[in-house]
Structure 1
Amino acid sequence: MSRGTVLVTGITGFIATHTALAFLDAGYSVKGTTRTAAKAEDWISRFPTHRARFQYAVVADMATCNAFDEAVKGCDFIAHLASPAHWNQNDNETDLLIPAINGTKNLLSATKNEPRIKRVVFTSSLAAIIEPTVEAAKTVVETEWNPITYEQAKFATNAAVVYRASKALAERTFWDYIENEKPAWTGSTICPCGTFAPPLQPLASLSALNVSTAFLWDMANGKYKSGVPTVGSPVYVDARDVALAHVRAVERDAAKGQRYLLIGGVYVPDQFIDVIHRRFPELRGNLPPVDLLKVGQLGFKYNSSKATEELGIQYTALETMVADTISSILALRKQLTA
């Protein structure tokens, strides 16, 4: 018997796919939102053993008023993951800010149509917590907020800054709704950092990998043979840990009204390259030399123990995360070129 039905918005996304599977594996039924019926059918065709507990709702444009009114019906819980996740916008508002913010508003407004809903888990980001640069002496924790305003994001010329703003402003929308509307359901937010894991979502090509996983694959595929570029926030988390955090946030009373930072560890790209070099000898010719001495020079400080203490998250080791991800991409590449 199902433990209840979870609405997973944007189910064909990278983290959303892992999250939906985590709920299904935990005994829940899942209703996924997609832009078209064909996308939903393609998604579940990859996981046929779960078809009996899967249904979908088409939400062609989540920024449209009443977009989720039908989707929420029959659901006990919601995991809201649908949000633009790219840095290649043509228009800051149309491509990132409005979909992220109005999509959140529309989903929350729709919950008035379904009194069964008990918990809504919103997928935010480390980007909602910190500014693009953090002082080395500062320890990043859940109580911090990226202070960017809508007007600043609207006119920003740095694509990454606009993306980060969309996450922060959408999460503020979530908490503002709870404070002002006082819904019968309780809410939690999950704030992961750069996320890596085997890509399980439908992909037409490897060029469609999510940003973090694509960065890792670029290392393995020879793009950075002369050196890997500097990353803004050198922290990682496995998407499977993020998915489990969503399940636990639905299940545990301690998660009511809470915000969770998910960081598995700090890294330098050399650590990723070292794992690839040792575990995938066929890829060694694609790799730059490594300098693991740089690991001790990192100044990024954080505390993500709240997710361990309250949600029971034991973070996946970097070695396992990298090896599993590269192995999965190599298998996917064979499938896509077959």
Structure 2
Amino acid sequence: MITRRFALHAIASAAAVSLVPSLSFAQDVSSYPSKPIRYIVPFPPGGLTDVMARLIALNAGMALKQSILVDNRAGASANLGADLAAKSPPDGYTWLAITLAHAVNQSLFTNLPYSLEKNLAPVAHLATSPLVLVVNESNPAKTLAEFLVQARAKRLNAGSSGNGTPPHLGLELLALNAKIEVSHIPYKGGAPSLNDLLGSQLDFIVSNLPECSTYVKAGKLRALAVTSAKRHPLLPDVPTFAESGLPGVELENWTGLMMPAGTPKAIIDKVASEAIKSVKSREISDRVAAMGFTPTGLGPAEFGEVIKKDVIRWREIVKVRNIQAG
């Protein structure tokens, strides 16, 4: 009898103990956030992703009544910061800013220390921006067709912000669909490549719209086509690649928010709600639209589908075009 009572008591005690983490966990979720949040941006300060993250951090931080501190961890083609976030505790206090480049990195690098789909959880898809084929204003080509005549007559030099970045991907899509060969010159960022295009040291760039629109409007660069499905409000007179006869050159860079896999769904949903409200607010949506972004505000499930599709799509293109990591 004593043995039986002892056994029953042990079982009851074990059950009670097993409930403690759950109860504590539930309390943590209901009181979240109770301390400052780290928002890892795997790019240098001042870039497009960094600007978006800081806007979200400020707006969502006020709504959540907690400080959200942006932590720039650039390096290793944006993998340094992503790996740091992937290996952080799944408690909701680590956020990660990601872009299309992270989806491409899954096939561009063969030995990544983290998996985008296994070690990180999608929270919110925030905004998109197209890319633009731009040439120096001194270039006689006024249309994509005229540019392609040049590209088929001789091998042109094209710059990008680095191997595997959206501008490089746009370049490869153009080469693939137009059946041209170009000499790709990777730079450490979009600004240096634009400077060389402005100085006529490059023939063209497939540039992020927010980076080149100012030069286009000033007449220093000429935009020949945009990679979005529709014309962009900032460049209404510039046709899409599809309108210009190359429907396969469709690509939009995006930025979003993820957290470590295993983060409680209640926390993910709460953060997603506030991030989406922030990016759709008049203050932020008008500001990012003026920069060339289109606010999207997709939740965890929809964002997960975007990531999945882009990982699959670019795995094939990386293989076909033999795109190498820098």
**Range into which the TM-score falls when normalised by the shorter chain:** under 0.3
Q: Compare the two structures and name the one with the higher strand fraction.
A: 2
TM-score scaled by length of structure 2 = 0.27
The structure, 1 or 2, with the larger RCO (C-alpha pairs under 8 Å, 6+ apart) is: 2
